[in-house]
Chains A and B, each alone.
Chain A
């Protein structure tokens, strides 16, 4: 059990979340919090960010003061990253995922998936891969991984066994996300949905003529999908129905999010999204009103080619995004955001998403 500070669109709410099974109830609590403030969950906007006029409640801060470097809330965002360091001993290339034992897993740019610990130690977990890109984790502990060189999505079990979920043409490798419906969403220029059991592929968004869908994520109540691009530095979105199918045309969400090559989209509990952009070596926060803030010093070698929130235990910071650094020896960048992952507050059709 770990204590969390959840900023779910109204007040700062202390929550206690079990790593294994307690998240359901806790997230429902956070949802109830929002409902109580009158936020409309059916809205196509990021409901959790609405009317966030609260101030930080000092009495609700976590018992681990190291995890929260400031009194940040949805209407009091840090002006930039609170800390930005390189974990020299960790290894990751274009993707990061945390396993159930609080290990940061990354491909080492050589041949193997590596398990990295917060104390700086690392161990070979699974050798034999010529190029693993983005990854995400199923609730059962299995990992979906983009095996770019073989053009396929793999499902890797904790015991190291793996299966091919599907062969994907134009698998870019960056945009691979498990949705709240436990389907896999992949940016392949457009967006496809992949059934992890049958491998069936359903296209939900065609590739546009003048830009490429490269990364994606869902908003907090799963009524919207954000789409990062290659082409023009614009983050787009489309609204989703209850089955997570697009409604209407794709829309511009924010412009000027770097120069044109987005490599990930992460979301915090306030509904802000975080986008690394390759051409500018930047890492940007995009607020729901479209405000774009550069969070880190822009150095080519230090560019973080991804964005994954840390888990809430095991010695990793819970207010921090971890990024692989393929141009810096395949090390890992630790960017302290000051807020927690939006995954902790995610809902779908009004129900908490327990993963």
Chain B
């Protein structure tokens, strides 16, 4: 659940997001007829206007990517940014957004498919899909890649101070170790943090079993007195770098960014399990420039663009053709290139439907404990 990505303004966007939801609640009724009118616009014939509206996470595309695309195609790209999957969903549900390409995370793709707000992709227009590695195709949230293709992927693990703690075994236990009291930061995320407890207990991150969730809740309540707090990944990273935290629960891109700056830090993907997440490109229903959207998606999946992207974001590329062009410095960081044994222990956070609220309640109970 790639919560906050590299947005240093995470909380700001959250606040704006909350405002947006409040606003969109209002506009739901007002925009209803508008939405239906627009959704028929997608398949219209005739050449498209040379424009594309790209709605992405903040700071999540290489500097050269968009200008190069504009130069090659003459299509003018307008960018807009969001801070969380939920904010993206709320905006699309309110309707009439005019976005052509969006980048939701895995579980959000399945929610959007179920909510019928994504346009099916025309794979004949995305020949570069062949560059996507088998490990990143046909994932459970969109088993046939009918609606989405991967953009970037990563893991959720532990960034820690090796100079102080020495070499740690890849395990969740240090996050529960009283010796590290006050120096641990977990993610402020209703799936990742209960997920860490579930992993530690050996359960699935997508469990809906009441007893297992209760156990996870107890585990997190036990952990809470040891924590400095629940933060965004982008907050945990600098805290580990400046020594406020010894261990931070982070997304891999944040870890690699920190590792590339400070040799005393290290990143582990804990046993017995940890999260692997994928952000994906998709086209919302009612997009006004579907042809340009396909061109753009195909362009992103190109080998060179894919490499540029990952070299900039520090996240992993699903693009196998891009792998040889990934910077060596990045490639050699611990946890960037994963052996099969590590890869196998990664789990994908999936939409759990109504049980989403069980996770919310669980995390609320922990936070107010």
**Pair from one complex:** no
Using a CB–CB cutoff of 8 Å, the interface residues on chain B facing chain A are none
Using a CB–CB cutoff of 8 Å, the interface residues on chain A facing chain B are none
